[in-house]
Structure 1
Amino acid sequence: MIGPILEVWEVTQRVRGAIASDPVLSGIGVRGQIANFRKHSSGHIYFTLRDERASLRSVMFRSRASGLGFTPKDGMRVVAFGYLDVFERDGTYQLYVDAMRQDGLGALHVALEELKQKLQAEGLMDPARKRRLPLLPRKVGIVTSKTGAAIHDISSVARRRFPGCRIVLLPVRVQGSAAPDMICKAVRTLERVPEVDVIVVARGGGSEEDLSAFNDERVVRAIYGSSVPVVSAVGHEVDVTLSDLVADVRAPTPSAAAEMVFPSAEDLKFQVRNLYLRARAAVHRRMERAGYSLMLLRSRPPLSRPLQLVFGLRQRIDGMEARAAGSVKRILETKRAMYLRILGRAEALDPYGPLMRGYALCLKKPDEIPISSVDMIQRGDGILLLLKDGRVDATVKEVSRVSWRMTW
């Protein structure tokens, strides 16, 4: 039998009403694995919850998503709390999520890994910032339980390796909810204690939950911010906490931490003795080389016969003076001959020079232009004759051409 014919929106409304009338679907928690995770620029997040048998579209609006204590991602198992409703435009039902948490023990591992990545991104685990331990610490600060095996092991190793060492113990709880705050306060207190050159944060082995205080972000940042080097010795060798990764030095056990921090007195004595012998040998070799060098210096002429060196230098100076005087004399004679040659040439080029030898210089008036050819004058022109002791004004009466030949 065919039922009533409905519009699409009417069908969607009926489905939506059926879901809304179910009290279970109005407030439900759904466990599943996240897939197709997408965060919109608006801050809303969209994803699919799925298990082996089905999948469920889900949305979490920005006002709710901003309060999450972790970053959802594909593959993460979660429990999402909200209500089921129909998205009319697409005709699909989906889960509107109000809150969400990670599921089971795996959530702790995911949170720990996220914190580790965050701290790495900030540079807290950068090997370049880790400091070397002091060779001879004046005092060693210890942060651990006063009744645990860790302080017993550290004290035993310290007494064996370096008797008389000074230890400053600040007892704390090493597990439980109060442990992180106590550890942070102890580290900050010890770094301000005068002469405390290194701090050891330690506890014995335990479960992952027992060691959780040393994965706490507050403890990790307190160790990172310490002004003195910190050794982390938490659990056994197979246990690795975030405190181990951030500390300047990681020790596999509290006993190993004590081996690192407290130097061996016997080893120090051996090293000092060895350094003394090496220094004495070095001084002896230096003195031998200095004595041999002094002997060589004494055998050299400047020290063995100093006057001979002075006489030789004086003789060289006398020779240099004589050569210098000869060079100056030759230079002066050369310059004098050059001067006389230049003077002779200047006199030969002097137009008034021939007047001193009985010749006359003939100039045409009125411009007093030198006359070098009969072509430059004619009868009746005025001329000026320059002699060695005066001048004569004259008038040309006759001009005739003559070819002069120089005879020797």
Structure 2
Amino acid sequence: MGLNTSPDAPIPVGQVSRLIGGWIDRLGSVWVEGQITQLSRRPGAGVVFLTLRDPSHDISLSVTCYRLVFDRVGDIVSEGARVVVHAKPEWYAPRGQLSLRASEIRPVGVGELLARLEQLKKSLAAEGLFALDRKRPLPFLPQLIGLVCGRASAAERDVLENARHRWPAVRFEVRNVAVQGVHAVPQVVQAVKDLDALPDVDVIVVARGGGSVEDLLPFSDEQLVRTVADCRTPVVSAIGHEPDTPLLDLVADLRASTPTDAAKKVVPDVGEELTRIRQLRERALRAVTGLLDREERGLAGVRHRPCMERPQRMVEEREEEVEALLHRGRRTLGHLLDRADSELAHTLARVVSLSPAATLERGYAVLQRADGTVVRSADEVTPDEKLRARVAEGEFTVRVTP
């Protein structure tokens, strides 16, 4: 709508900003294509800020979206990527700034292709096809190697030449297939199945040189990934160069960055192994020699001990100890007997001194009645009673006189 304004009757800036906001609010959502030039994805924030630029006209618009919307393509969209955004224009009145509120973001061209591959990758990973516990170890020295590659390709030459240079006796069972185009997937799948069915094949190498994302699409095909996952033979993926990561790299038992790297990882180097064997032999010889030298020194030390040079010395030392203990025992027993004899003599002297016989020897006598009782008082006897008198040298009978 038109506004009636004049130099004498202008309207405030705020009213103009609100009017612009009202007009923009009446606009519906639009699909916008552009290139992401700035991307702000702060940890923990619920909103993602980015700038969408039109390279042909050098015009940029600020875009905001919820983190949930951006996380759907966050793994494959970064600064510089071209995207198509479904958004609604918004006007921020306080600053007079136009922006877009995005509800959906889609990659364009290669980005869309990568988005589909990312979805397939997540689906297969959820099934456990990329789990580490499914990886099988490679044999140390494969007798027969299955090789799937393009006919007369650089990848085939790199694998064969490097493998035979490292181990000349190694043998290959080669399957030449298309490595790009519409026939690549069925031919590679059939070649892998044929090699897996051969009992003599110890490991399978799928090799291809580098290329664009579109050229490497056959090696991210779901059918090929499931075929490799079902193989009983270990599979090595040698697709492209270091930046290339097809889904075959994730399901294979071992990923090699290049075909040359695959040859180095599958086949041991005969020179290195001979050097390692020589080093191990030298190390074992040093260990055994050191052990023998140490035991020999120990044996020599034992032989030079006094007890080994003159074994009877131990008996002589024990004999001296026995004799010393015997003399000590005799002395101790003699002292004990002497002390006991002295104590016995003292006791005998005391007994003798206290004996009644000693008293009788001094001239005393003991009077006893006929029944053997000792007379201790004159009142105990009667006149004419016969008593027995005991003296030191014998006894005799006496009569009591009144």
Q: TM-score, normalised by structure 1?
A: 0.49
